[in-house]
Structure 1
Amino acid sequence: MNHIDVELSNLKVKLMEMWDLVEYQLQSGRDAMLNADQELARKVVKLGKKVNNFDVKIDRMCENLLALYTPVAVDLRLVLATLKINANLERIGDTAEGISMFVQKREVPFNPEMLEITRAVAMFDEALAMFHDCRIAYKANNTDQARALLRRDKMLNKIYRKSDRIIAQYLRANPDSIEEGLILLSIIKKLERVGDQVTNIAEEIIFYQDAKVVKHKSKKKDKENGKENGNGNGNGNNNGNAIS
């Protein structure tokens, strides 16, 4: 194994360590939300510093690889993809922190009825599953799995689009739950962002392996479909991710 291969292998190992940590943050954020576990929520927030350290370390490793080895072809795509995956992992960690900060404002668990009608738990579970499956796709260099993730983001978007109306309707009948409803709505919005960030990572897996840029294509396709249907606008994902 030559020097660049060793450095690329070390880069992948470091990225997987960060991935594991962010996945723990996200899973713990879910557990903290369901149980109003403020101690666990504080732990998730505290781990943010460690995630940030990974972010800086991986960026520097990528910069050194570019400067010292001038990689080309698939090696160059791996470094460029890693830079973007690293940024998205850091943002998902920030999202887990944000959710945990909201949990710290709660002394009791969320009303089960509100969780059920908003499908917040199902949304959290799917976001976690997508994040986990994205890691598997990365390790296996499996672009078919990565492309499947682009389609799965639609579920999160659907729940998110309905959440404003559902929570508003619930709060009109239960005005004492306004603070709880607003916090849950904020969490749902953050989970929608996790879906966007996971699809961003999936797009980078496809770019690294197949040398194909798929981002923004679905938004263009949905707009075209909307024009064909005569409504003048599409219903594409707000992050512009591709669906192959």
Structure 2
Amino acid sequence: MIYIEKELENLKKEVLEMWDLVNSQLNRAGESLISLDKDLAKEVVYREKRVNAFELKIDSDCEDIIGLYNPVALDLRFTLAMMKINNNLERIADFCEGIARFVIDYPEINIEAELFEKTGIKEMLQIIKDMMNKAELALIEEKSSLAVDLFEMDNRVDELNRNAVPIIAEYLQQFPERAVECLNLISIIRRMERIGDHCNNMAEEIVFYLDAKVLKHADKLLK
């Protein structure tokens, strides 16, 4: 094995470790949101520093590979894809921290479980978890067909995001004293929608690496 191949292998291992860390953050943030578990939310906030440090390490390794080995073709696409995936993972972790901070600051009174169901928060949370897992599997198995599946999943997340606002607005008309909580809830739903967008971005990078297709700003259904 030539040296650059070893470096690329180590880079992939690091990105997958970062992925697992962010996946853990998402699972913990989601669980803390549904159960309003402040202690679990505090764990997410505490672990955010580790995510940030990992992102800087991977970025530095990508820059070293490009600077020292001048990769071309597949190796260059892989390195660029890993750098962008790393950045998207860090942004996902940021949104997880935001969800956790909402739980920590949440009033002791709870929004009715019925509103969680009506707004589709639980469904949205499950979809973005599935998107994270499927995208990681696509990278591990190097199957662009798995990555492409995320585009339709993201469409459903977008739909849930759009539908949630009028549902919360109607609830707010009935319970105006819950205005702050409802506004925060809209913010949380928006964060989950953005996590879906970043999963979508990572799927695009996997397709770019494997198939040399640039899907950004393109109609993915035509690719």
Query: What's the TM-score, normalizing by structure 1?
Result: 0.88
1:188 and 2:203 matched: no
The 5 A counterparts of 1:54-203 are 54-106=54-106, 107-203=108-204
User: Structure 1 vs Structure 2: percent identity of aligned residues?
Assistant: 42
1:7 and 2:25 matched: no
- Residues 35 and 109 in structure 1, CA contact (< 8 A), matched pair in contact too: no
Match of 1:217, SS state, is coil
Greater CA deviation, 177-186 or 106-115? 106-115
The count of residues paired between Structure 1 and Structure 2 equals 221
Instruction: For structure 1, list consecutive stretches of 5 or more residues without a partner in the other structure.
Output: 219-241
1:29 and 2:29 matched: yes
Measured in 2, the distance between the counterparts of 1:65 and 1:109 equals 50
Q: Deviations over 1:179-220 (max 9, x none)?
A: 2211211110000001100000000000000001011012xx
Measured in 2, the distance between the counterparts of 1:63 and 1:11 equals 11
Shift of 1:108: 4.9
Residues 25, 109 of structure 1: alpha-carbon distance in 2 compared, 3 angstrom cutoff: farther
Q: 1:45: which partner in 2?
A: 45
- Residues 127 and 195 in structure 1, CA contact (< 8 A), matched pair in contact too: yes
Could you tell me which amino acid in structure 2 is paired with residue 55 of structure 1? Answer: E
Instruction: For structure 2, list consecutive stretches of 5 or more residues without a partner in the other structure.
Output: none
Higher relative contact order (CA 8 A, sep 6+): 2
Measured in 1, the distance between the counterparts of 2:178 and 2:118 equals 14
Cα-Cα RMSD: 1.0
Q: Which has the higher helix share?
A: 2
Q: Deviations over 1:56-75 (max 9, x none)?
A: 00001001101111111100
Could you tell me which amino acid in structure 2 is paired with residue 40 of structure 1? Answer: L
Match of 1:104, SS state, is helix
Match of 1:47, SS state, is helix
Measured in 2, the distance between the counterparts of 1:108 and 1:199 equals 35
Could you tell me which amino acid in structure 2 is paired with residue 166 of structure 1? Answer: I
Measured in 2, the distance between the counterparts of 1:109 and 1:50 equals 31
Shift of 1:109: 4.5
- Residues 45 and 97 in structure 1, CA contact (< 8 A), matched pair in contact too: yes
